[in-house]
Amino acid sequence: MFKRNAFFFGTLLGSVMAIAVHVAPAGAQSAGQPSIDSDAGILVENCMVRFINKTKVPSESQGKLTQLSVEEGMSIKKGDVIAIVDDQQARLALELKEAEELVAKLNAQNDVNKRDAVQSEVIARQEAAAYRDLYAKGAAPQFEMLKKQAEADRAILRIELADLNENTAMAEYVAKKVGTKLAQSDIEMRTIRAEFDAYVENRFAQLGEWVQPGSPIVELVQMDFVRVEGFIDAFRYAGQIQKGADVKVEITVGGTSTNPVIQTFVGKIDYVSMELDLNKRHRIWVKVPNQRDGDDWLIKPGMRATMQIMPPAAGGLF
């Protein structure tokens, strides 16, 4: 009895393993080839709509949020103010830097010492010449003549010193201007702005909250353009898929599984990855313009799509 049962189970196990050996390669092959050849080009299925820009906008300064101008679901433009970190102290620092810059500017423009040194040098030179004539006539002692000559030489040095002081004052003025720009930059860093036209996907911070540099304030997503991304067998289509190849994109934007609503776009492949994934596939994507649908957008990340690619050898748009 035991031998018959052992024989039966052994036979059954061998049959199951044989079936598995024949089925497994077919499944692996279909998973690695999501693309279909046809006379119209290469059909890439199971593509996905994704964001081009999806950014968590951080604070660049430390302080309390004194203004928070956005809510989730708002559409904002590039340059719009999202939030302001308390900038009262920064503005006072700017006023101080502007006053210091003004003082430095006045000092840099002040040439009184230079003009006085020049006039003094003229008088000293004339006086030295007069004493040389008197000495030559025996009307003045030698030490008086030498003293006047030394005074004339010192007058020339005072002109050089006045030039040096003017250059130093100018350098200090330039340094104060830089300090003013730094103070202005600090204020600007406390004003958080949108870097692109965007939709506010998430808001993390609250009005009055204390934030640190790097603390996320909001998450912005770009919706005027989206990316349709797919994968294609790198070995099967070697040399056929290139950046700039003509492509037709069909995105399912609504409807049902039996009666889908399809939106079609014609364009060119914008990206082909150099790296292959574990299934030896290139990642490719196409940039697609989105369309407004009232207050909403027609195409949303996560929607399914297909691409139909014309290899460069075939040429021509669809």
Tens of pLDDT, residue by residue over 7-37, are 444 554 444 444 433 433 333 333 444 555 5
Which of 196, 188, 189 shows the shortest CA–CA distance to 78?
Answer: 196
Which of 287, 256, 293 shows the shortest CA–CA distance to 50?
Answer: 287
284 and 244, same structural domain?
Answer: yes
Tell me: pLDDT of 58 over 70: yes
User: For 70-91, what is the mean pLDDT?
Assistant: 93
CA angle 205, 208, 213 (to 5 degrees): 55
275 and 152, same structural domain?
Answer: no
235 and 93, same structural domain?
Answer: no
Distance CA 241, CA 269 (A): 9
Range(s) of the domain holding residue 76 = 55-83+191-220
215 and 257, same structural domain?
Answer: no
Last residue of a domain, one of 137, 166, 188: 188
Distance CA 266, CA 308 (A): 10
Q: For the domain that residue 199 is a member of, what is the CATH number?
A: 2.40.50.100
Residue 318 lies in a domain: no
104 and 123, same structural domain?
Answer: yes
CA dihedral 158, 164, 170, 176 (to 10 degrees): -110
The pLDDT mean for the chain works out to 84
The pLDDT tens digits of the residues spanning 119-154 come to 988 998 898 888 888 888 888 888 888 888 898 889
Which of 197, 187, 203, 206 shows the shortest CA–CA distance to 57?
Answer: 203
pLDDT grade, residue 179 (50/70/90)? very high
210 and 158, same structural domain?
Answer: no
Contact 280, 233 (CB under 8 A): yes
User: For 96-113, what is the mean pLDDT?
Assistant: 92
Residue 205 lies in a domain: yes
* pTM assigned to the model: 0.67
pLDDT grade, residue 212 (50/70/90)? very high
